Structure 1
């Protein structure tokens, strides 16, 4: 019990430090004029940035694996970059303490989601005013993106065809189905279907990924390692080092991802079109 108290106290300290560092970043952002652009608003002022950086909440019906994005570009001087770096260090410290709690006292996680907002009245009022339920911990610790060096150009585009594919054995798929209601008719049907496969056949579990904004960054000068560009996702506004408080050239993408696939099917796509085990999102590989 004493260890749990210690871990909870450490998490509270880490959360407080993250909130304080974020407020300092917002103060620096508001103190000096600089160019900024955001997909959601024509006026990416302090209030907009505060809403993006302090969006720590679950919305009704939100999938716990999904986070909301705030797409923007911000010209940053050294003071602002230092403040962003401090916020990201505090996020890392919060994530490390949270990982320790998950490993040693996972039962504290619901308590943390309920208790931490009360430590900061402004956050708590936002929580109550919006009718939001609890902290979304991943949105607390996700890092603010920063460009490695000054940029000449940024190209933004939605990436909405992503999916993760994990290989499963027949035995692993069976074990996962058995953890469900094995007496339910739809589970029995899938177990029977699985029993008709050879034990050596590999299966694929597919998880469709939420649309993300991808940024292709073109550096004003090659980096020390010779790189001239970099691609990265933008869950939060991108801070760009700049000597003159001006943004590099950039395009304006659509405000929402396009419907359907935006990329051609991969030539190496080898999964069958129809799902084999719907409860697990498992597909068979095409026979050659």
Structure 2
């Protein structure tokens, strides 16, 4: 039986989830009451499309746990709707903070949270039947809705498919990671010997290629207070832009799929070797 404090953690998470759903429903109701111009990537922009996008909190069967689904679009928003978006994002931040506390203080509680939270809102859970959806995807719950902080003259959307996550590790840290694998396997033993041949103080890099994503380049109508005239951001969810008259800014139509290969030239100062030194962990040496 879980210690009593864990029930407090779960209760706080449930309250944060309830608040997130309530604020999202308020945002959707505000949009449905006075819809302005909207555009959806490879879909018809509508109140129902926006509902599916903002309440897409689920894994599909067989979905990679690290992957999230995207719902790219543009929404022209007045001040009231922008305020609703800010309220939803604030609720998402609280939900993420509650999750982080559980991961730190009592990680086994996460499995129970994923099972319990959907049933608190039957209208969310009912649509799972027969739709191929499974358990709650926590990251898709707390990821923020993108919004522009000032009116935008134009938006240029483009695929970004060259992203990489690079984590710097010590030889000792890499050894610990290798030892969590099957140390009796020949390929692991070979990599342990290769690692042992390195100086203990040599820094190494663990590289994770990121899935293609859509990026939006925003060009503001007027310079911001800090002098910026443009901004780039990832847009996995619909982008809300301030539009008192309900009109979308000029925007392009990106290709239906990301480019088949890297579109940006490799930087001449790239610091990692071309091939991984320890393939099982995607560990590279610095040049």
Per the TM alignment, residue 146 of structure 1 is displaced from its structure 2 partner at its CA by 0.8
Aligned length: 285
1:191-212: per-residue Cα shift (whole Å, max 9, x none)? 1122222323322211101111
Match of 1:35 in 2: 37
| Secondary structure at 1:100 match in 2 | helix
Mind listing any 5+ residue stretches in structure 1 that lack a counterpart?
none
Moved more, 53-62 or 210-219: 53-62
Match of 1:117 in 2: 118
Residues 83-162 of structure 1 correspond to what in structure 2 (within 5 A)?
Answer: 83-162=84-163
Taking the aligned partners of 2:4 and 2:202, their CA distance within structure 1 comes to 49
Per the TM alignment, residue 266 of structure 1 is displaced from its structure 2 partner at its CA by 1.0
Taking the aligned partners of 1:264 and 1:229, their CA distance within structure 2 comes to 23
Match of 1:259 in 2: 260
Match of 2:276 in 1: 275
Residues 27-66 of structure 1 correspond to what in structure 2 (within 5 A)?
Answer: 27-41=29-43, 43-66=44-67
Match of 1:228 in 2: 229
Taking the aligned partners of 1:61 and 1:269, their CA distance within structure 2 comes to 35
Residues 144-183 of structure 1 correspond to what in structure 2 (within 5 A)?
Answer: 144-183=145-184
Taking the aligned partners of 2:286 and 2:98, their CA distance within structure 1 comes to 41
Taking the aligned partners of 1:95 and 1:58, their CA distance within structure 2 comes to 18
Per the TM alignment, residue 21 of structure 1 is displaced from its structure 2 partner at its CA by 1.1
Residues 20-31 of structure 1 correspond to what in structure 2 (within 5 A)?
Answer: 20-31=22-33
Per the TM alignment, residue 93 of structure 1 is displaced from its structure 2 partner at its CA by 1.4
Match of 1:207 in 2: 208
Per the TM alignment, residue 132 of structure 1 is displaced from its structure 2 partner at its CA by 2.2
Moved more, 191-200 or 77-86: 191-200
**Normalized against structure 2, the TM-score is what?**
0.95
Per the TM alignment, residue 272 of structure 1 is displaced from its structure 2 partner at its CA by 2.3
Taking the aligned partners of 2:133 and 2:179, their CA distance within structure 1 comes to 35
Mind listing any 5+ residue stretches in structure 2 that lack a counterpart?
none
Per the TM alignment, residue 275 of structure 1 is displaced from its structure 2 partner at its CA by 1.8
CA RMSD across the alignment:
1.3
Match of 1:195 in 2: 196
Match of 1:12 in 2: 14
Taking the aligned partners of 1:202 and 1:19, their CA distance within structure 2 comes to 44
